[in-house]
Amino acid sequence: MRKTSAVDRPDLKYAAYARERLAEMPPPADPEGFALAYHLLHLSYLVVADLESQIHRPRGWTLPGFRLMFKLWLLGPTQPARLAEISAMSRAAVTNAVNTLERDGLVERRPVPDDRRAVAAALTPKGEQAVQEAFADQTRREQQWFAALSPDERSTLTELLVRVLASRPGDTEG
Amino acid sequence: MRKTSAVDRPDLKYAAYARERLAEMPPPADPEGFALAYHLLHLSYLVVADLESQIHRPRGWTLPGFRLMFKLWLLGPTQPARLAEISAMSRAAVTNAVNTLERDGLVERRPVPDDRRAVAAALTPKGEQAVQEAFADQTRREQQWFAALSPDERSTLTELLVRVLASRPGDTEG
DNA sequence: ACGAGATTGTTACGGCCGTAACAATCACCT
DNA sequence: AGGTGATTGTTACGGCCGTAACAATCTCGT
């Protein structure tokens, strides 16, 4: 039975060391602020890399592609501009993602009747099946990631994240 | 005085809608698991994009470049392979990052006496000054991001993230 | 009706990241 | 001493993302 501790994890060991070093420094150094930001970004990075390599790449797709298709699955045909603001991405990134998905036959572009500038991205039947299959796998993998927390703890974590998201600083504040 | 609510935030509005839709679906659909993973990845994405555009790009650098230099600042001259495992990145990504930083005169490569394969990346004086300046700005910006939480709440959030990180699933588990 | 300003989607360019393949070097066992 | 296997750093290639610039189209006030 293999037991893993913080010492076996170079990233956690580094974070602990950095926190100690920052504790010796004068403000604005902030050991606890550093730890919060570091662990948040690092965990997200690991989850993204894991979902990408374990779930989506073996199927020949990507996580960003899946996330876009998942939105189309829930929302139906949607304009790139709306997908961009939902995802907080640039319109150019959506264009590129739709290009790749369209090339693979998972998504198609449709004209919008009322606006000749606009285009709506929509799932093809192949894309819809692809989303449903990957969705089940991704859900199970996400559950594994957070299995170490109790339901109450998971709920607390979600609530704290949402509070930060709802209060996020504007582009020029500060 | 501008008041912002969830309805003004297309991303939060989408997350709430998705959660409702998933609640109507049979397992393995998991509305709360989805919300946790979605908000975690989304918040991280926003913080990364914000630090990049507000702090580092105006100075002519990038967030990944800063994070690498910050590690060198704390650790001293370090081999790319060690930077890669600390950061959970590939060695190729470190090579590319060091190339860019070296081109800009912020980092230099040094031979390692005991191992002729190895190279150590080290901050130049220009790089060291750059890290210190950006560090102060980044710290303040991170504090703004989490100002909506009390110190206790921030501590709880950090602890929950660390628990997940320490228990993370292996490459092939599940 | 018309023109200024905003919006939509696209393209070009550069940076970041992973995988895969490679040569050079090291470690270790026989 | 020799040879197998592992490690180090690099390069090539493709995907993702942002910014900036662009043409086409829509909106709205006059």
Chain segment B116-141, per-residue pLDDT in tens: 999 999 999 999 999 999 999 999 99
Which residues of B fall within a CB distance of 8 Å from A161? 36, 39-40, 43, 157
Average pLDDT along chain A = 92
pLDDT of amino acid A169: 82
SS3 content of chain A, % helix, strand, coil (to 5): 65, 10, 25
Given a cut of 60, is residue A7 above it in pLDDT?
no
Classify burial at A151, counting beta carbons within 10 Å of its beta carbon; exposed 0-12, middle 13-18, buried 19 or more: exposed
Confidence category of residue A174, pLDDT binned at 50, 70, 90: very low
If you average pLDDT over residues A74-103, what whole number do you get?
Answer: 96
CA dist B156 → A143, B70, B146, B151, B164 (Å)? 20, 26, 12, 9, 13
Given a cut of 60, is residue A4 above it in pLDDT?
no
Q: Do A36 and B156 touch (CB under 8 A)?
A: no
Nearest to B42 among A136, A165, A173 (CB): A165
pLDDT of amino acid A156: 98
CB within 7 A of strand D (chain A, 49-78): 62, 64-65
Which residues of A fall within a CB distance of 8 Å from B156? 156, 160
pLDDT of amino acid B167: 93
If you average pLDDT over residues B17-34, what whole number do you get?
Answer: 95
Site from A9, A44, A69 to mutate, B interface, most B CB atoms within 10 angstroms:
A44
Nearest to A144 among B9, B165, B174 (CB): B174
Nearest to B21 among A10, A74, A164 (CB): A74
| % of chain A with per-residue pLDDT over 90 | 89
Average pLDDT along chain B = 92
Chain segment B135-174, per-residue pLDDT in tens: 999 999 999 999 999 999 999 999 999 999 999 886 554 4
Given a cut of 70, is residue B91 above it in pLDDT?
yes
Given a cut of 50, is residue B3 above it in pLDDT?
no
pLDDT of amino acid B170: 64
Instruction: With residue A108 as reference, give the H or E element that holds it.
Output: strand A107-112
If you average pLDDT over residues A13-20, what whole number do you get?
Answer: 96
pLDDT of amino acid A106: 96
Q: Give the nucleotide at minimum CA-to-C1' distance from B97.
A: C16
| Among the listed residues A95, A75, A96, the one whose alpha carbon sits nearest the alpha carbon of residue A86 | A75
If you average pLDDT over residues A16-29, what whole number do you get?
Answer: 94
Confidence category of residue A9, pLDDT binned at 50, 70, 90: confident
Cβ-based neighbour number of residue B101 at 10 Å: 25
Tell me if residue B78 falls in helix, strand or coil.
strand
pLDDT of amino acid A1: 44
